[in-house]
Amino acid sequence: MRTKVAIIGGGPSGLILSQLLDLQGIDNVVLERKTQEYVLKRIRAGVLEQGLVDLLHTAEVAEPMLKNGAMHDGFQICYNGRSARIDLKGLVGAGVMVYGQTEITRDLYAARKAMGGVILEEAEVTNIEGIHTKQPKVHFSRGGENHQLACDFVVGCDGFHGASRQAIPAGDLKTFEKVYPFGWLGILSETPPISHELIYASHDRGFALCSMRHSNLSRYYLQVPLSDRVEDWSDDKFWHELRLRLPTEVAKNLVTGPSIEKSIAPLRSFVCENMRYGNLFLAGDAAHIVPPTGAKGLNLAASDIHYLSNALIQYYHDGDESGLDGYLETALKRVWKAERFSWWMTSLLHKLPSGAGENGDFTHRMQTAELDYIFNSPAALKSLAENYVGLPY
C-alpha cells in the first residue's frame, strides 16, 4: 500500500487531520489499533476552545456540535464555602463550547465514511522504517497478516502509549514529566447537571468538578488517592463525598442517580519535545499530556493539527516546506503555555501535600491567598479567562 500521509491513531486528532487533508485532495490512510466501537466507548473531555470549534467548521463537521452542543459564557470556582463566577464573556469577549469528545469522534467517523476515507481498524503498528528518508514505511499487522504502508510522512496521533513516539530512539528523546500524587475518580450519570455551567471546587477534603455532556447527562469528578480503586467507591459513597466538597447552596441542586460509567485516571504533565523527528510528526497525547483541570488536552491536540494540516497542505499545494520545518517550534510554544496553565489550575485547586510551617499548612494558605487575589484583581481574572477560553493559534 502507498499513500501520502500515514496517520497512526483513529481518535479525534487523527480523524480531524485525515478529514482536513482529504478535503484538500491529499491522500491519507488512518491506522487504528482498536475497533471503531471501542474508540467510541472512551469517555473524554467536552470543553472546546474557539480554536477547536473553528477547526471543526473547517473540517465540515461542525453541524452536529452546533445543534447539540452548548455555549458557556462562564464557570464557577468554589472555595472556603463560597462560590464565585468567572465571567468569560465579560472578561475576554468569548466563551467555550461544551460538546463531548465521544460525539466529536462519532461525527468525524461519519464524515470520513461519507467521503470514502480509508480507516484501517485493528491495525497494530509494529515498526516505522525509514523515518529520515523520503519514503518512510509503516509496518503493521491486521487480520493475522503483516502489511506495510509506504508514505511521504508519518503522523503519530496514537496517544501516550502508542507506537509512534516509541519509534524515536531512546537516546534522542527529550521528555519532561511531572506525576501528581492523586487521581480523578469520574462518574457519568443520566441526571440533569447540577448547574448550567461547570463548577470547580477546592476543599480541604480534596478537589471536585461538576461538568456535563447535555441536559440529562452529567459528568462528576473527585480527587482521590492513587491507591484507591473503583471498587472502593459505591455510587452512594461518591454522591455523599461530592456533597461534602460543595458549598451548601450548590449541593442542594445535586440530582443523583446510578452511574453508567466509573473510572479513576491518574494525573500527569508530560512533554516530548521531539514533535518532529525526520519525517515523523507527533500530535496530541503522543507528544504531550496535561492534567485535565484546565480542559486543555483535546484543545491542545487541535492546535497541533491546525499547525500540521496547514503545513502539509502548504507543502503539497505549493511545494513549500517552511510550515513543516517550523512545526516543532510553533507547536511547542503553545504546548508549554497550556502545560503551564494546566499545572497552575491543578496546583491552585487540589489538596496538595502539606508544606507545614510554624503557623500551619503553608501550601493551603498560599492557595487561599492566590484565590483571594484572583477574585479581587481584574487583571488576574482576565488572565485566567484568557487562558481558559484558549490562547490564539
Q: Give the chain as a 3 state SS string.
A: CECCEEEECCCHHHHHHHHHHHHCCCCEEEECCCCHHHHCCCCCCCEECHHHHHHHHHCCCCHHHHHHCEEECEEEEEECCEEEEEEHHHHHCCCEEECCHHHHHHHHHHHHHHCCCEEECCCEEEEEECCCCCCCEEEEEECCEEEEEECCEEEECCCCCCHHHHCCCHHHCCEEEEEEEEEEEEEEECCCCCCCCCEEECCCCCCEEEEEEECCEEEEEEEECCCCCHHHCCHHHHHHHHHHCCCHHHHCCCCCCCEEEEEEEEEEEEEECCCEECCEEECHHHCEECCHHHCCHHHHHHHHHHHHHHHHHHHHHHCCCHHHHHHHHHHHHHHHHHHHHHHHHHHHHCCCCCCEECCEEHHHHHHHHHHHHHCCCHHHHHHHHHHHHCCCC
Residue 231's domain is classified under what CATH number?
3.30.9.10
pLDDT score at 45: 67
Which of 327, 346, 365 is where one domain is finished? Answer: 346
Residues 173 and 204 in one domain: no
**pLDDT tens sequence across 96-108:** 999 989 999 999 9
Query: Does residue 353 or residue 312 have the better pLDDT?
Result: 312
Mean pLDDT of the 325-348 span: 97
In a domain, 224, yes or no: yes
Q: Which domain holds residue 261?
A: 180-267+353-389
Q: Does residue 247 share a domain with residue 327?
A: no
Q: pLDDT tens-digit profile of 136-183? A: 999 999 999 999 999 999 999 999 999 999 999 999 999 999 999 999
Is 134 in the same domain as 188?
no
In Å, how far from its chain's centre is CA 384? 18
98 and 214 part of one domain: no
Which residues neighbour 171 within 8 Å (Cβ) at sequence distance 6 or greater? none
* Residue 40 pLDDT: 86
Answer yes or no: is 216 within a domain: yes
Same domain, 260 and 308: no
What's the first-to-final CA gap in the chain, in angstroms? 35
- 198 and 248 together in one domain: yes
User: How is residue 269 written as a grid cell?
Assistant: 504533565
pLDDT tens, residue by residue, 5-47: 999 999 999 999 999 999 999 999 999 999 999 888 876 668 9
Same domain, 214 and 342: no
Per-residue pLDDT reduced to its tens digit, 247-298:
999 999 999 999 999 999 999 999 999 999 999 999 999 999 999 999 999 9
Instruction: Give catalytic residue positions.
Output: 72, 200, 292, 296, 388
Q: What is the pTM of this model?
A: 0.94
CATH number of the domain that 318 lies in? 3.50.50.60
The three cell numbers locating residue 309: 494540516
Tell me if 160 is assigned to some domain. Answer: yes
Same domain, 145 and 211: no
Q: What is the mean pLDDT of residues 306-326?
A: 98
How many other CB atoms sit within 10 Å of the CB of residue 53?
20
pLDDT at 359: 54
Residue position matching grid coordinates 473553528: 54
Q: Indicate whether 213 and 230 sit together in one domain.
A: yes
Same domain membership, residue 320 and residue 372:
no
Residue 185 is assigned to a structural domain of this protein = yes
Question: Would 250 be classed as within a structural domain?
Answer: yes
> Is residue 77 one of the residues assigned to a domain?
no
Query: 291 and 314, same structural domain?
Result: yes
Q: Is residue 51 part of a domain?
A: yes
Angstrom distances, CA of residue 1 to CA of 118, 159, 380: 12, 24, 54
Q: How many separate domains does the chain show?
A: 2
Report the sign of the C-alpha dihedral through residues 185, 285, 287, 95, in that order: negative
HSE toward the beta carbon, residue 274, CA cutoff 13 A: 19
Domain annotation covers residue 98: yes
Please give the Cα distance from 212 to 179 (Å, whole number): 27
Are 245 and 300 within one domain? Answer: no
Q: What is the dihedral of CA 116, 122, 124, 130, to 10 degrees?
A: -10
| CA distances from residue 30 to 10, 109, 377 in whole angstroms, order as listed | 6, 11, 48
